[in-house]
Structure 1
Amino acid sequence: MKNVNRVFFCKSLSLVFLVPSFTRSHIRFTYSAAGASSPNRAIHCMASDSPQSGDGSVSSPPNVAAVPSSSSSSSASSAIDFLSLCTRLKTTPRAGWIKRDVKDPESIADHMYRMGLMALISSDIPGVNRDKCMKMAIVHDIAEAIVGDITPSCGISKEEKNRRESEALEHMCKLLGGGERAKEIAELWREYEENSSPEAKVVKDFDKVELILQALEYEQDQGKDLEEFFQSTAGKFQTNIGKAWASEIVSRRRKQH
């Protein structure tokens, strides 16, 4: 069979190939450095029949390989550096639970993850971007990867806490390499801190809802009395969804006492 070469030009790494009906085919990838600074990088893909040897047998197709440009290697390095730093969010327990002698307390990442789920399952709210809420939920405590979980009982002023976290966030964004993603993370974090948007108000309520839900679960599982967390959040919810979910949690708590 005569070799047939076809070239596909694709704008992203999510590629769909229509492979010809013949079965002995292979695909070879080469990376084009052209436009490497753009998020829509070009991938040149060549599909061809498997070459036959002189005796008619079919040779094994070559390994699929991707040859990254120096720019993508640098981007990958920044991403892994950033993610490696963020592992501290998975290993740092929430300080409030430690001080109350809770066994196996949740990590900062545990807390942010369930907040992300809250945003995911929440009903649509007029004027609120639910996708933005999900992003904000997984970003709002990200600076704690460096500064740790600073609580009111730590004796650190709000101004000093914000200064430390702002510096930590700046460092993390530089580690990520700057650019659009780093800018987005910084903007989401500041918006949350300043409570300056409808999304920030929703996510701040989710922060408190997740806190009291976790407190209720620790009370049920470990026989703790964590009334102080319910007292500290009472009357501080800003949105209807926050008030409704908090009321449901408090109602369930009353039934078990």
Structure 2
Amino acid sequence: MQDTKRLQEFMELVGRLKHMKRMGWVKRNISDPETIAGHMYRMAMLSFLVDGKEKLDKIKIMQMTLIHDLAECIVGDITPYCGISPDEKHRMEDEAMKDICKLLGDKGPEILQIFREYEKQESPEAQYVKDLDRLDLLMQAYEYEKRDNIPGELNEFFVAINGKIRHPVINKIAIDITEERDKFCRNINVLK
């Protein structure tokens, strides 16, 4: 039986993610930006895209999408613009995950292992989840440009992702989103 007090503490930590805004959007002054939990939820839903013909563990992918940003409930959403080196970010997040996993009894080591596998990008599943992360970023940027009528204003996110998505199906979706966004930007700019 799990220690219910520790599980309650875990639930409170996870609950923070429902309210924590993603820092990249906050720094760009996006009104009503997505939360970390919202981002993780869409990624988990995208895990259903895994084709049964592929030799990928769909369950592990779904678990990884729900775990990959879990440390942010303690350390926050650290972006490249926060002045923290990638090595320090990884160290901070690993320490946070160790603390989180201590709350989970015998389930903790499994969750920590999945987190570390993602961080090290040491499996096809981890690489797939990284591509889902990038795809979600593109889609979210495009959604904000449409919602706020700011065509092209979030181009830095498209530039940062360009050429980095390796999985062919996810890359095709990213190309389609980018092409649709390019048409949107051209049509809006023509109307201005």
- State whether TM-score is above 0.5: yes
Please tell me whether residue 218 in structure 1 is matched to residue 144 in structure 2. Answer: yes
Partner of 1:129: 57
Q: Any gaps of 5 or more consecutive residues in structure 1? A: 1-71
- The 1-side partners of 2:43 and 2:27 are apart by 22
Q: Deviations over 1:67-109 (max 9, x none)?
A: xxxxx3x532222211111111111100000111101100000
TM superposition score normalised by structure 2: 0.91
Please tell me whether residue 172 in structure 1 is matched to residue 100 in structure 2. Answer: yes
CA contact (8 A) 2:71 2:96 kept: yes
TM superposition score normalised by structure 1: 0.69
SS at match of 1:149: coil
Aligned length: 183
Partner of 1:139: 67
Moved over 4 A (4+): none
- Which structure has more helix as a fraction of its residues? 2
- Which structure has more strand as a fraction of its residues? 1
Tell me the CA shift for residue 123 of structure 1: 2.3
Q: Any gaps of 5 or more consecutive residues in structure 2? A: 186-192
Partner of 2:128: 202
- The 2-side partners of 1:105 and 1:125 are apart by 36
- Choose the corresponding residue for 1:248, options 168, 176, 190: 176
Moved more, 227-236 or 118-127: 118-127
SS at match of 1:138: helix
Partner of 1:88: 16
Alignment of 1:36-75 (within 5 A): 72=1, 75=3
- Choose the corresponding residue for 2:164, options 236, 247, 255: 236
- The 2-side partners of 1:188 and 1:173 are apart by 11
Tell me the CA shift for residue 241 of structure 1: 2.1
- The 2-side partners of 1:125 and 1:251 are apart by 28
Identity across matched positions, percent: 43
